[in-house]
Amino acid sequence: MKNWINRRFGTWRGLVRLLLAYLELATGRLRPFMLKHPEAVRRVVPICQGNICRSAYAHHIVEECGLPVASFGLSTHTGGASPAEAVAAAARLNVDMTAHRATDWTDFKVLPGDLLLVMEIRQAHELRRRLGPRDDVQICLLGMWCKPVVPHLHDPHTLSSGYFDTNFRRVDQAVRRLAAELPHLKQTPRAFHPAHEQAL
């Protein structure tokens, strides 16, 4: 049981946070973080805490999908590299993250039309607090594009390689499903791969 939880959810805490996120989803509390105006999106911006694992991998997949992209971390050090475990997990999915370098929030300029994609509900609330009344961007949970929906994508940093694989596959699927909803942004059309429809 422990190994299954660690592989699927990272830790017991990851499972609990996901269950709480499902409760918030069921009660409608996540509606503010749903994509309401896809036609207004001008750039896709994955965000996590450190910009070295989840959002770093998402950045590469958005780029692969041919969409304008940038990424940053809410609390990190600009210039930091992704850990070896993240680079290895990405490599297993044929993505090279060796050149990725983190960008901190303080060194990032949010632009009108940005779609800010966070991994956790608390990150969405924190980003909303930092942006204040600004209404020219949209904040969404990346995991809402997973199938089935995974509103909490737990941080894989320092966790098992099995969970890194699960997490990155979820991120990969979510980004590709999102990209299909933003055809006006695509610089290079790509076919939607049926493998990303698999339940994760």
Q: Each residue of 38-97: pLDDT tens digit?
A: 999 999 999 999 999 999 999 999 999 999 999 999 999 999 999 999 999 999 999 999
- pLDDT for residue 195 is more than 70: no
Q: Kindly report, residue by residue over 125-173, the tens digit of the pLDDT.
A: 999 999 999 999 999 999 999 999 999 999 999 999 999 999 999 999 9
- pLDDT for residue 194 is more than 90: no
Res 200: pLDDT = 62
Res 186: pLDDT = 85
- Give ∠ CA 178-110-77 in degrees, rounded to 5: 95
User: Which domains are seen in the chain, by residue range?
Assistant: 2-197 (3.40.50.2300)
- Global pTM reads 0.91
